[in-house]
Amino acid sequence: MTLTKYALTAALMATVAMPALAEGQLNIYSSRHYDTDERLYTDFTDQTGITINRIEGKADELLARMQAEGANSPADVLITVDTSRLSRAKNMGLLQPVESAVLEERIPANLQDTDNDWFGFSQRARIIFYNKNSVDVPPANYMDLADPAYKGKVCIRSSTNEYNQTLLAAIVTHFGEDKATEWAEGVVDNMARAPQGGDTDQLRGLISGECEVSVSNSYYFARALRTDVNGLSDNIDQIGWVFPDQDGNGAHMNLSGAGVAANAPNRDNAVKFLEYLASDSAQAYFSAGNDEFPAVKGVELAESVAKLGEFKADEINLSEVAQNIPTAQKIFNAVGWK
Residue 190 has pLDDT above 60, yes or no: yes
Class of domain 124-251+318-335: alpha beta
- pLDDT range class, residue 8, cuts 50, 70, 90: very low
pLDDT in tens, 88-131: 999 999 999 999 999 999 999 999 999 999 999 999 999 999 99
| Number of neighbours of residue 60 by Cβ within 10 angstroms | 12
Q: Which fold has domain 5-122+255-306?
A: D-Maltodextrin-Binding Protein; domain 2 (3.40.190)
Residue 311: how many CA atoms within 13 Å on its side-chain side? 29
pLDDT in tens, 282-321: 999 999 989 999 999 999 999 999 999 999 999 999 999 9
Q: Which of 31-40, 185-194, 209-218 has the lowest mean pLDDT?
A: 31-40
3-state secondary structure of 141: coil
Average pLDDT, stretch 49-65?
Answer: 95
The segment(s) of the chain belonging to CATH 3.40.190.10 are 5-122+255-306, 124-251+318-335
How far CA 200 is from CA of 15, 196, 197, 215, in Å, comes to 37, 11, 8, 10
3-state secondary structure of 15: helix
Residues 6+ apart with CB under 8 A from 250: 243, 311, 312, 313, 314, 315
Residue 197 has pLDDT above 80, yes or no: yes
